[in-house]
A and B are shown apart, each in its own frame.
Chain A
């Protein structure tokens, strides 16, 4: 027992030195690569964040995927199809990044299908009209870009590289959405009212996407210290509001927040309080579409079984 205690003390002293060196590397702007020493907490936080991010991309295919068959023209159908394919690809980039930390694909897929895993609350809202496809691209993907541009500077090499690829593709997502919104905002009175209605429904869920206030975000401090994130949830949320409000105003669209006003001193658009009860309700699985999304994922997994079996059989035959 005595020996074991001494060992432990020595190890922790050793780890403290390693931790100092690790934090110094991050302070110098170095990227951590698989194989490098990292604190267990860094690894755990990254796996948590990256796998949730991957699940969000995968579930994110569903709300918009519902409109592929109902797109208003062949060109719009092809654009939407390409966008949804990108989301599938982004999920793959991210699962890969989590695998470099020792998570297995199997565990992550199982966590999603069993409902244990969390994913972005935004995808638990329904897409009621074609205008929703425009507004998701314009607002939701724009919000995602701000978060992901920050994560592209993340201290973990594989995560940062996945994010660089994703950001380049997300720009297309945002612009195709903005393109739809501009057209509808300048269209017939009915198109205008459709796009306004979509903004009214998606505005608050989009602000919730950035996550809880900094004061209620227990992981933020350590993630910022270790360079995984460089901005807080509230900073990113404010950045989004400041950028999108003038654009929506240019399009003569209104924002469903009576408290929204420009603060000339701060230069910020100040917005009303977010309904955090709604946020936690959706995160905890009681949003409008949580059940539907999970069922759709499970169904897709089951119905893809024969494809996986066929591929496995082909692979076995090739190996002979």
Chain B
């Protein structure tokens, strides 16, 4: 009888299913996982330490690079923390714009999650479909902030600028005829709000397409039902939030339980799962996309009816208008002070949690009264979710590790910070 020993398998850090740079050391008994030990930190950039060396506003751009699939949601928590310390409330229109973009970001994130999750489980088509929707939403990002990913659009006191009245259009080239281009531009003839509204009209149909491909698919169910199960008690104990917690049947959503911005005025439902396995979490994600779509529609309607300022008018924290600077000495001084020194934030500390697409994204900010944060701590959902992976994969087969990893919705920019 030969002696059989457990095998240690190294997964990653350069592996397409590792969602970035995760090194996972797996102790295997044949095909069965005995223990999983994630090694993280390969993307650690010391963002929190860097933030200590810069004025508050200069770190907003770093927040985009935390979870680079839900950029504006990261900014949101950081900006809310600064506003709380400053005691500033942004204008209503800015709050609606932020909520609308937070929900657009949620769809961006969930669509990508679905794409990657299904690809990891062997379904290629969904991946291609998902990128069709991402393209439209990234165009919204571009129209409003000038960039497709790292927007730096939310600012303490509001947003960088109001929604544009026109969308950029495709142009004919030797590869795309005028007819083709006109078809692409059909939704782009009006304002950004028209474009978003047109998107919300077709999006539920697209979600139906994903569901046709996956929800009753036998292979999909075999790959996800009963995989990575977690009980609600254990999920709470392990610090799980977001879809990971709702998938286990705990109705906990910060947008509803501890509302911030204008979420308390909006109408939406919180989906929950029953079993706490990968399949239930998939259903929760799908329903959340539909709910986000609903929220966006309500925001569009409100924003159409209520024009107004989009940033706080205290020029100690938000820049004055460019035109004013040309003639008004005070505006010029404000501009100079703001962009050289920044603003001082009263001494104190706040923890601001937000319902990020991946779970609770909290920013803990300590200020000693200076123009730079004294300590910034980002509590990312994916970090805690990944810390629980050992319990989720124990006793499963090697191929299920990939399914569990992608159900966790981890992004290394956020895990490693």
A and B from one assembly?
no
Chain B residues with a Cβ under 8 A of chain A: none
Chain A residues with a Cβ under 8 A of chain B: none
